[in-house]
Amino acid sequence: GAVVSQHPSWVICKSGTSVKIECRSLDFQATTMFWYRQFPKQSLMLMATSNEGSKATYEQGVEKDKFLINHASLTLSTLTVTSAHPEDSSFYICSARRQGGSEQYFGPGTRLTVT
Amino acid sequence: GESVGLHLPTLSVQEGDNSIINCAYSNSASDYFIWYKQESGKGPQFIIDIRSNMDKRQGQRVTVLLNKTVKHLSLQIAATQPGDSAVYFCAEQAYPGSARQLTFGSGTQLTVLP
């Protein structure tokens, strides 16, 4: 149990376009979901925390108008990268946590390449 | 332009030997620690966790040691296998289930030599 999926697994888009990444908890209800970004040979950096039905909390330095997060249901959160630029190219990983739970279950990641 | 990435610390071990991966954490208020394994192009995979009221915890082929005095965490892998080759991250949290997020360490690249 506790499987988290992401879609797409990889995406290539042109500079200036927007890209939506989905994160789903397949067999549990996730009251909290997290979005991370990981550049090559670096660690995971938290971008934002989202709780179902409320606005996401963004980490310092992360532009909320550029990285739109929606957590409309207990099994789905989306991250939209708006007006993408080559420097947004990265590996985006989500994780999900049950209500009252301690463990975060990670998705397989989405490789975004902006040309 | 292309960003310059950091070089992960690396550890190479012979297949069958034991591996020890170390991690230093900075927040003395952290009460919960987790080790993750990340294979290339995949998300992190939970290995083992430990709370600060313990100094050792064992799993299948893995042991985590916690030294709160020097804020040091280690992961020991017994009889290392080729499938153990990956990047290993430690992560800390204020307490289990905290609204405070996980903070990840910089990671160590483990390579298992045949």
The chain B residue lying nearest A34, using CA atoms, is B101
- Find the Cα–Cα–Cα–Cα dihedral B109, B94, A4, A52, rounded to 10°: -150
H helices, E strands: number in chain B: 0, 10
Confidence class for position B1, pLDDT limits 50, 70, 90: very low
A111–B41 C-beta distance less than 8 A: yes
CA distance A52 to chain B (A): 13
Residue B4 has pLDDT above 50, yes or no: no
pLDDT computed for residue B94 by the predictor:
76
Whether A105 has its CB under 8 Å from any CB of chain B: the answer is yes
Substitution target from A41, A58, A103 for chain B, most B beta carbons within 10 A: A41
Q: Are B21 and B105 in contact (CB under 8 A)?
A: no
Quote the CA–CA distance of A66 and A18 in Å, as a whole number. 9
Residue A98 has pLDDT above 50, yes or no: yes
Stretch B89-105: mean pLDDT, rounded? Answer: 80
Partner residue opposite A106 with nearest CB, options B7, B41, B43: B43
Give the model confidence (pLDDT) of A44-76 as tens digits: 999 999 988 888 999 999 999 999 999 989 999
Strand (E) or helix (H) holding B113 = strand B108-113
Confidence class for position B59, pLDDT limits 50, 70, 90: very high
A41–B6 C-beta distance less than 8 A: yes
A89 to chain B: which residues are within 8 Å by CB? none
Mean pLDDT of chain A: 94
Residue A21's nearest CA partner among A11, A35, A7 is A7
Give the model confidence (pLDDT) of B19-56 as tens digits: 999 999 988 888 899 999 999 999 999 999 999 999 99
